[in-house]
């Protein structure tokens, strides 16, 4: 028996499972899935969990069941690539023949002093729950500082402003306009939405230090009751600690077939992999399909393709509370209720398909 070990049952890991099970797993291969959470989590909805507008249960999806799938609930602490073993906290190591590393990402604090210690996060379910509890226990008129106005910062600020109209929300961003990776027209639409909904945007900010209940913008102190960090991500520490070439965000540089350049049995997936697009759930899923193709061919004794075409992405959608949204579909900006409906529809389809 050969053992395919998948680290992380996120968007990438789940796609691998759903592609291989129930019918495409050869009789002589077993799968071991290892995750610190006992179900698949819909990470794209963590902003709503933190804002208190959805319940925890709504963003859990059960892992599939199969006689040759073993699910281990545990914390991965390292990978021994030479001895072909995954090291777990307080448990025996797990041996692999093929390994897929899809452990996602963590906040990147860009060496800002105090940021890691004194800010809250929405990058994992455990941290999002903690953020939910501090945000929703705040008294009226409390100040919430959100650092970083990319997709997740914007979604959190808008959802929180609808959830808690009594809070004073300040959204800090480095650029002239928020959502710097989107066309300016779209950024302005979102900025106007924030103006109408009493979220203060502080453009051209530079957070130089964070202390308890205080952040420093260009060294000027601003009192906040809670600070949430949404100002960038980096690959999981497990991958950052592995040997091999990585990009500026600690993501592993991989071969055209998604494995380590010097080891064709260790694949790097999703937010852990250095790919030509910004990390996203869609990208992780597209990459998972290609990894499955490589494995299936190899298991049949066939040569894998020399390379794959670029992964096609359908676009990106963000929410502004429960009624409005924005995004890029087929390279065209879309805004308003249609964008929000599309986003809800995609989430529903995803849950319906996987659940
Ligand atoms: C608020 C927010 C909104 C987003 N919106 C969108 C969107 O609209 N569209 C989009 O495409 N993308 C969106 N993203 C990005 C998307 O969520 C990620 O790109 C995607 O989750 C990456 O998938 P993955 O499989 O690489 O990792 P993940 O889905 O993060 O899965 C990683 C898995 O690894 C497990 N894990 C991590 N470390 C360990 C460890 N040491 N031991 C054991 N298990 C571990 C985790 O529990 C998790 O199950 C959003 C992200 C956020 C935070």
- Span 302-329, pLDDT tens digits: 999 988 999 999 899 999 999 999 999 9
**Counting atoms of ligand 1 from 1, which one is nearest the CA of 273?**
26
Q: Which pLDDT does position 23 carry in this prediction? A: 87
Ligand 1 neighbourhood includes 235 CB (under 6 angstroms):
no
Cα(141) to ligand 1 centroid in Å equals 32
- Sign of the torsion formed by the C-alpha atoms of 86, 234, 188 and 51: positive
DSSP 8-class letter at 200: E
**34, 86 contact by CB (below 8 A):** yes
DSSP 8-class letter at 177: S
DSSP 8-class letter at 273: E
Helices (H), 21-150: 46-51, 115-118, 125-136
Examine domains 2-36+74-106+233-299 and 109-231 and report if their fold is the same.
yes
* Percent share of the chain, pLDDT over 70: 99
With b for 16 or more beta-carbon neighbours within 10 A and e for fewer, the 320-334 pattern comes to bbeebbbbbeeeebb
Ligand 1 neighbourhood includes 155 CB (under 6 angstroms):
yes
Q: Of 235, 211, 195, give the one whose Cα is nearest residue 118.
A: 211
End-to-end, the C-alpha distance of the chain in Å comes to 29
247 backbone φψ class: left, alpha, beta (φ>0; ψ -120 to 50): beta
Angle between helices 151-163 and 184-196 (to 10 degrees): 20
Ligand 1 neighbourhood includes 129 CB (under 6 angstroms):
no
Cα(162) to ligand 1 centroid in Å equals 25
Q: Which residue's CA lies nearest to atom 53 of ligand 1?
A: 123
- The verdict on domain 109-231 having CATH code 3.40.250.10 is no
**CA–CA distance from 323 to each of 225, 228, 337 (Å)?**
28, 23, 6
- Span 232-260, pLDDT tens digits: 999 999 999 999 999 999 999 999 999 99
* Contact residues for 84 (Cβ-Cβ < 8 A; gap 6+): 95, 96, 97, 99
- Span 169-212, pLDDT tens digits: 999 999 999 998 899 999 999 999 999 999 999 999 999 999 99
- Span 72-116, pLDDT tens digits: 999 999 999 999 999 999 999 999 999 999 999 999 999 999 999
| Spans of all domains in the chain | 2-36+74-106+233-299, 109-231
Q: Which pLDDT does position 134 carry in this prediction? A: 98
Scanning the structure block, which residue is given the tokens 């190591």? 93
* Neighbouring-strand partners of residue 106: 234
Q: What is the mean pLDDT of residues 118-128?
A: 98
Q: Please give the CATH number for the structural domain made up of 2-36+74-106+233-299.
A: 3.50.50.60
Q: What is the mean pLDDT of residues 269-293?
A: 97
> Taking all residues of the chain, what is their mean pLDDT, rounded to a whole number?
96
d(CA 132, CA 292): 36
**Counting atoms of ligand 1 from 1, which one is nearest the CA of 155?**
1
**Counting atoms of ligand 1 from 1, which one is nearest the CA of 11?**
25
| For ligand 1, mutation pick of 5, 6, 7, 10 (most atoms within 8 Å of CB) | 10
d(CA 355, CA 249): 32
Cα(108) to ligand 1 centroid in Å equals 14
d(CA 329, CA 327): 7
Residue 302: its H or E element: none
* Neighbouring-strand partners of residue 60: 41
d(CA 329, CA 52): 28
pLDDT tier, 331 (very low <50, low <70, confident <90, very high otherwise): confident
- Give the neighbor-by-neighbor strand order of the sheet with 207-211: 207-211, 214-217, 220-223
Q: Of 352, 320, 354, give the one whose Cα is nearest residue 339.
A: 320
d(CA 7, CA 15): 13
pLDDT tier, 355 (very low <50, low <70, confident <90, very high otherwise): low
Cα(281) to ligand 1 centroid in Å equals 7
């Amino acid at each position: 028996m050969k053992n395919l070990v998948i680290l992380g049952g996120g968007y990438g890991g789940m796609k691998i499972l759903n592609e291989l099970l129930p019918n495409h797993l050869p009789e002589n291969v077993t799968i071991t899935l290892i995750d610190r959470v006992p179900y698949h989590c819909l990470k794209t909805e963590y902003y709503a969990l933190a804002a208190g507008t959805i319940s925890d249960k709504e963003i859990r999806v059960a892992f599939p069941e199969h006689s040759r799938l073993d699910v281990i609930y545990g914390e991965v602490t390292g990978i021994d690539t030479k001895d072909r073993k995954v090291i777990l906290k307080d448990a025996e190591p797990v041996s692999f023949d093929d390994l897929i590393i899809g452990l996602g990402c963590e906040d990147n604090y860009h060496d800002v002093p105090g940021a890691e210690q004194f800010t809250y996060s929405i990058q994992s379910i455990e941290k999002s729950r903690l953020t939910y509890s501090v945000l929703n226990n705040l008294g009226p008129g409390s100040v919430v500082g959100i650092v970083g106005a990319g997709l997740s910062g914007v979604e959190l600020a808008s959802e929180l402003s609808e959830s808690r109209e009594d809070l004073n929300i300040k959204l800090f961003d480095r650029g002239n306009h928020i959502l710097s990776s989107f066309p300016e027209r779209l950024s302005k639409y979102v900025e106007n939405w924030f103006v109408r909904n009493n979220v203060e945007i502080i453009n051209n900010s530079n957070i130089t230090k964070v202390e308890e209940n205080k952040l420093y913008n260009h060294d000027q102190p601003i009192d906040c009751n809670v600070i949430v960090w949404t100002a960038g991500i980096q690959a999981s520490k497990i991958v950052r600690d592995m040997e091999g070439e990585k990009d500026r965000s600690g993501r592993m540089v991989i071969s055209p077939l998604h494995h380590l350049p010097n080891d064709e049995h260790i694949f790097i997936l999703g937010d852990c992999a250095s790919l030509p697009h910004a990390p996203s759930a869609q990208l992780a899923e597209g990459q998972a399909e290609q990894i499955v193709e490589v494995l299936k061919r190899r298991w049949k004794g066939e040569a894998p393709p020399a390379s794959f075409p670029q992964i096609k992405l359908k676009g990106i959608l963000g929410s502004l509370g429960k009624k409005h949204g924005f995004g890029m579909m087929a390279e065209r900006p879309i805004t308003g209720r249609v964008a929000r409906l599309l986003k809800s529809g995609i989430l529903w389809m995803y849950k319906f398909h996987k659940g």
